[in-house]
Amino acid sequence: MSSDSAASRRPSLDELVAATPATRDRYLDLLRAASILVVVFGHWLMAVLEWDDGRLETSNLLAEVRPLQLATWVLQVMPVFFFVGGVVNRAAILSARRRGSGWAEYLQGRVDRLTRPVVPFALVWMGVAGSIALAGASGKPARVVLRVMAQPLWFLAVYLIVIAMAPAFVRLHERWRWWVPGVLALTAGMLDIVGEHVAGVGWANYPVVFLFAHQLGFFAGDGTLNGWPRHRMLLAGAVGLGALAALTAGPYPTSMVGVTGEARSNMSPPTLCIVALAVLQVALVLLARPAVARWLESPRAWGAVIVVNTSIMTIFLWHLPALVLVALLLLVGFPQPDVASASWWLLRIPGSR
């Protein structure tokens, strides 16, 4: 084999596993992949599509089976994704500092990696929506297509904002430490209150709430949280859980995602509940870290994480179109049982059909 062909050959999975440096934080890679896969699983689990007098109606399982709303305290894992982003982005910012690179170079490197899979996704779905409109169909199908396209992109847009603001927040972290997430949490609560009376104000909580989760990642990245004893981490988790229970017993809904028919959502825009959820989930993932990190030392386990992470953004972007397609095929090919019945659940399980 020539040197050129050897250089162009893609390494095998075994080679990638073997080449992993000892300094790589495998647990962060697992959390990144797992958080996206949980989102995909949650969308598949919760979506309800039904024919009603020849019309396709969409709703949410959480509106049909309200006790399941507590499951969103586990399945709503966007705080974990932003927490991991905080660890990774802080490291990138410090690396850029050491090289003497500025904000623009840092931002370009982060944005390029994030947006590369987005371009073909957006082009395809804009083309589909345009074709539907040119075909003279009613506006509703085109709106449905654009909504399916836009749903994954809202989170990417927020993450890009957080990435752009991260260098400034690293400096705030270095000077003011715990005051920064404290002020972000207070700001989120104030925006919730004002947003109840002034339309549009609550939308400012998109960056505020997720900057809070991102800021917690700085404390993991600099070793602060990793140095906490187990009892302190358990206390932090209890505080997050207690705050979440108190907030949802009061003016906030139980579900951590939007539910059809609810007057208020904890995610559109995010509320103080997502701040409490971030505290709870970060405590849980850090408590689980030692055991899971040992498991990731297995070549098979680490290889699985590598496989998922190589295509995780593509999976995230395309899972909703795939979900809609599979759901439509099921509606056409199978008599639809009552929502949340045993037969309905079996239709959600791959291989049960």
73-116 pLDDT tens trace: 999 999 999 999 999 999 999 999 999 988 888 888 888 877 78
Distance CA 248, CA 237 (A): 17
What token pair was written down for 70?
A: 């507590």
Q: With a threshold of 0.95, does the pTM exceed it?
A: no
Instruction: Write out pLDDT tens, residues 242-268.
Output: 999 999 999 999 999 988 778 889 998
Long-range contact set of residues 24-30: C-beta below 8 Å, sequence gap at least 24? 25/87, 26/293, 26/296, 26/297, 26/302, 26/305, 27/289, 27/292, 27/293, 27/296, 28/84, 28/87, 28/88, 29/305, 29/306, 29/309, 30/292, 30/296, 30/305
Q: State the angle between helix axes of 312-333 and 26-46 in degrees (0 to 180), rounded to the nearest 10.
A: 20
- Please, which residues have CB within 8 angstroms of residue 77's CB and are 6 or more apart in sequence? 34, 35, 38, 39, 281
73: number of Cβ within 10 Å:
19
- Which residue carries 């395309």 as its tokens? 318
E strand residue ranges, the chain: 47-52, 55-60
Per-residue confidence (pLDDT) for residue 73, from 0 to 100: 95
Q: State the angle between helix axes of 139-176 and 312-333 in degrees (0 to 180), rounded to the nearest 10.
A: 150
Closest by CA to 206, choosing from 171, 254, 155, is: 155
- Which residue carries 């949650």 as its tokens? 42
Per-residue pLDDT of the chain (353 residues; tens, 9 = 90+): 454 555 556 788 888 888 899 889 999 999 999 999 998 888 878 877 666 665 666 677 888 888 889 999 999 999 999 999 999 999 999 999 999 988 888 888 888 877 788 778 777 776 766 666 566 555 555 566 566 666 667 888 899 999 999 999 999 999 999 999 999 999 999 999 999 999 899 999 999 999 999 999 999 999 999 999 999 999 999 999 999 999 999 999 999 998 877 888 999 899 999 999 999 999 999 999 999 999 999 999 999 999 999 888 888 888 777 776 776 666 665 666 777 777 777 766 654 44
Cβ(62)–Cβ(68) under 8 Å?
yes
What token pair was written down for 259?
A: 């539910």
Distance CA 155, CA 79 (A): 11
